[in-house]
Structure 1
Amino acid sequence: VQEFEEIGAFIPQVEEAVKDSTKFMKVVNLAGFRAFKNAAAALENINSISEGILSQDLSAFLQTNMPNTGKKKSVTLGVSDPKLGTAISESLGINVTHFGLIRGIRFHLTHFIKGLNSASMKQTELGLGHSYSRGKVKFNVNRVDNMIIQSIALIDQLDKDINSFAMRIREWYSYHFPELAKVVTDNYQYALCASYIKNRNLLNQEMFDKLEEITGDSEKAQAIFDVARMSMGMDISPIDLLNIEVFAKRVASLAEYRQKLAAYLRSKMNAVAPNLSTLIGEVVGARALKTKGKTPKYGLIYHSAFIGKAAVANKGRISRYVANKCSLASRIDCFAEVQTTVFGEKLKTQVEDRLKFYEVGELPRTNLDVMAEAVVANNEVVKKIVKKENKKKRKLLEMQEQSEEVEMETPKKKKKKKHNEEVEAQNGNTTLEISLNESSLGESAKKKKKKRKHAEEEEEISANQSVNVDSSLIVDDDDEKVSKKKKKKRKSKSNEEE
């Protein structure tokens, strides 16, 4: 860009100059261009740009084509997304600015790049836009509409089958009890009554409570008893009654399954398309999701309650209005990150106000005011839902932490068990040691006895030896006495001789 003022870009004359290709080409020159390798690379780059992330392809392109900057020369990069600009400046250190000149570059892109025409560029942009939109709609297992398509198709088939089976059971059981069909008109209740009554001749007062529970009306139950006494039906064999009973139970079970399937359909519609189901109901909304083919002659929303309330002259106008609101509700359900029913309720009030306008002439509120209120209310509901989800996540984390702590504590308990086993082993060892000590004590006692005997024998021997020693000492004393006498005699003899 040679020179371009950001403030002057908003002047009408400058905007007209930007639209002129000759004037714009004098201001802007092509410095570098790099085409995407394939559609997958283009989708990856646009996803990263939408999230404000610098992709590898863009980083390599900027590093190769951006001129070197120094102290005297500074370069500023213009981007269309401020988030992407911050990412580029943080990662590559390039000065980035954001202004509306990018729109002119995008508008005159075919003049800058040779071989690129507007038709091929529109096709590539369309394909990239479709793939980008598919990627933005996050896949959620709980929001798969295939289950709704199959459920509504099965409900339609069950309605036909239950109706035909109920007519068959009425014809079959009417041979025996024809008056019951006039008293009980509901197919499900008729099948239950036929399977419970069986033989009308055996109907007694004890069966009154059960019949009252089936029909939900005491007067109906009493009427069944009254007509049973005066019935014009034929008698029937027990085998035929058994077959009728089995078939009636099957019809009743099919009707019960149909009720459960309808509840399942309501829950799935509230999970997948809550605003659409709030606007026109679960069944009509499910039929709108059912097929991609042609709609019926009067449309799928012809059976809606809004069109039934409208006058004949206004049915066409209100049907178009309802179709418009249904398209808005379905788009909100598709792209909303947190599912709420706020927009569906507001759209429903808009349709009701439009009906009043057609009937009475009361002017409804503008769409802008209603949607502004819906946005505020939806933000509040989303905050509450997010808080609840965060609380649930915290509880789950606490439960996981507690379970991990319990798992960490459980091996300690095992160690205690091992300690107990060691104590028991020690006790066993002590018992073994005691038994061994007892045995050793027995052996030591025996040894002591032997030692005592040996000591006694030694004492006897020593005593004998001492006796011998004493006797020897006595003998020695006698010898000494004799020797003294001899000495005295010798002395006396020697004295006499002298």
Structure 2
Amino acid sequence: MLLLYETASGYAIFRISEKFNLTKVDDLWSEFESPDKARQFVQLVNFRKFSDINQSLKSTMDIMENKCSKTLKKVIKKFVLPEIQEKLAVADAKLGNLIQEKFPGISCLSNSKITELFRGVRSNLNALLVDIPRRELENMAVALAHNMSRHKLKFTAEKIDMMIVQAIGLHDDLDRELNNYAMRCREWYGWHFPELGKCISDHLLYAQIVERIGFRECAPMTNLSDLLSEDLQKKVKKMSLHSLGTEISTTDLKSIKLLCKQIIEISKYRTELGNYLRARMFSLAPNLASLTGEIIGARLIARAGSLLGLSKMSASTIQIIGAEKALFRAIKTKRDTPKYGLIYHAQIISTVPQKLKGKVARMLANKATLAVRYDALSEHTDDGDMNILGLEQRAILEKRIKALETGIAHQATKTKKVRFREAPYIIQGGGELYDTSADFTLPRKRKHENDNASDFIETKKLKLTSILKDEKKERSKKLTIQGHQLAEEAQGYKVDKKMKKEKHLKEESVFMEQPAVESFVEQEEMVESSVIVEEEEEEQQHLYGEDEGEESKLNLSTQSTEKKKKKKKKKKNDSEVEQWSFSNKKNDDNEAHMLPKSLRRQHFKDAWPRKEEACAPEILSIRRNRQLFVLCRHRPVLAKSLLSGLKEAVRECQFQMKYNRWNCSFGYHSMDYTLLDNPPILNFGYKETSFLVALSSAGAAWSVARACANGQLTSCTCNNRQHSSQQAWKWGGCSYSIKFGLVNSRRLLTSKHSIHKANLLKLVYKHNLKAGRMALKRTLKRDCKCHGISGSCQMKTCWKSPAEFREIGTHLKKKLSRAMFILQNHSPNDSRYIAQQLKAAELVYFEQSPTYCEPLSHIRSVGTRGRICSVRNQTHSFADCEIVCCGRGYFHQAELVVENCNCKFHWCCQVMCDKCRRTNWISKCR
């Protein structure tokens, strides 16, 4: 076995005899008691000596940096590789791994037995290395130690900036200790003479007075003229006669005086340290000291580590040195970054107004960068010109600050640049001038030359305007005549409308006696024939106003009721086109309603884009709802936002109910199933139905409001409501359009079914829709943007924005736990349809929910078999597995989860994480 031994002079290769027994570690020391015994088992093969101390330092630093030096490679190739069958013993396991990587055939050993073997070789090293003198080994070791220390510390004898680093560190420590001592002295002596602390604010002066006075009774006889003014001296002596303090003993006063002496001595040493620091700064960095001051400049050097390190920093980095925590916090929270750090306490910045501090800090950082680079890299030795650059830059800064404060523009250059203008050439002499009358050019038509043409154009314009006015008058006459004719027919239309309402009420009373198990589609067919005319009138009045609604009434009265029933789908299409039209198309659409039926359809076909160009493919392929389909053709972005809100509502419903028996599943695998697809549970008045309806209403409004705020919906109106006076701040004009989202959610989901007062199921449906919209209103959060200096909130702008949808879902889940069960009112003396008084924000239901334990086909519930449940403990508020599993029991199943862990933040903007695996145990129902 071979042994590699490292020394300061070179590398030694020893051969260990085969007779040597390494198994007895405890008795290994006995084999190296004397050099003669050591020579029997250890023999020197070769010693590779270093040429000089630099080669020794380089080899040692390479090993410390986990590198293999060239000298070591040569030794291994020459003496170890020929005997590759033998093992190589090394002192460090990392060195052995490094050798095995470079030379795969070599096997290295490093353990506790090898460590004891190296200890024995080290004790007899002088006897084993016969050719190397002992003195040379010691000198090389000392030289290597000095060079390594100098290399690590990077010691330079030219500029001793480490003295400034230590001095400013001690200066700051003295400030803290001095403040602690002074406050302790005030509290201690304040029990005896409390009035003195109110008169004397300076800590050093207070300690000097306490040391000189002693007991407060001695104050009138003590001379304080060298410390205090005459008036203040009289005030102190007068207060000592009527003091409210307690009596103290002589030993107490002795301890207080010793503390005062310590304060006075520390203050004197702090003053001397400040003078030393000032002299050091003016000898090392005079330009930086002239700009920022000695203390601030020394702190900047201490933060950078050295003057050279500070000179390598940019101006923006120097500006925020000392505010690293605030900077990283601002980057993490995506807020405004700080404008200054240690440089804020410079004399130049402290004298300017608050609104200019950020700008002056940036200018001072730029000048300080220039000054510190000049100090670190210049070679000037003349003391008289060392700080001339700093003084010049300080003068420029003061002029710039004065210009900013007064508002007068600052002249950047000393001399004004005048643009050179060439003097005009003047002909001198009696030469003849050139005659331009002989030139031929195209004549230019001027105004006074074309009077006849302008008169002709004006007369032509007058004729055209007169013709257009005559056409408008004739058109208005025709419209008035048609209006009178249709008004006469409207009288008979109103009588027919009253008859239909009475008939409808009779049919509805008979219908309510039957159980409410029919679908919405079947109920709608029973009342649609009598209410369709009223719905179209309400929709047109809501969109166009009263006058235009009257026009639509007149158009509807021209046709018979039988013809309306046959073509009710076409009328629905026309009314929906009118309801969802753009605001800028409103005037053209009003004129189009007066046109005949064929021309009106052609007008809308040309005015609106084609469905293949405007509508999203996902809505065209599904066609869930006629209202949404028509809306998608004419306002595709709004339809897409409404549909995404309904999908988000279903996902949130499944999240909130995932540990309950009913988990918001409709028996379909697709997550795109929404309220517009008429899930069967809507035909029943269960508590879970109310939660789904309210959550869908809130989701549609939330999605539209977010789309408006993000700029995806350009047609949404801007919320111009002002909540404060114009004098306090200037109104910007826009915020989250919550109202626009609520209106569109109500239009889509309320118009999904014809809501009538005589239907309990539809009344509950309408009430829960309103409760969902009110949940969005009550969860609005208040966001503010601060506009002060360095992110301060002295001036801020606030607005209300919708909360995260998870918060809205949690809010409605709490409402579900206290939902109200309602009853239909059968009292003949009470006109109310529902017996209870309802709150608008509460969820209501009128049927008891099933158990949901087994699959239910009429509502397409899949039951709870194989469902994931949660075992009840102190940290969970979900339902227990025993309740969810309906007493059938549950079992535990393990699943492997891979997630990010041990994340570290790397400058500037990168997060590195490891992949960790953990076993997650879940519970499932049997």
Shorter-chain TM-score bucket reads 0.3 to 0.5
Query: Per chain length, whose mean CA-contact separation is higher, i.e. which structure has more relative contact order (CA < 8 Å, sep 6+)?
Result: 1
Structure index of larger Rg: 1
Under a length normalisation based on structure 2, what TM-score does the superposition of the two structures give?
0.24
> Which is richer in helix?
1
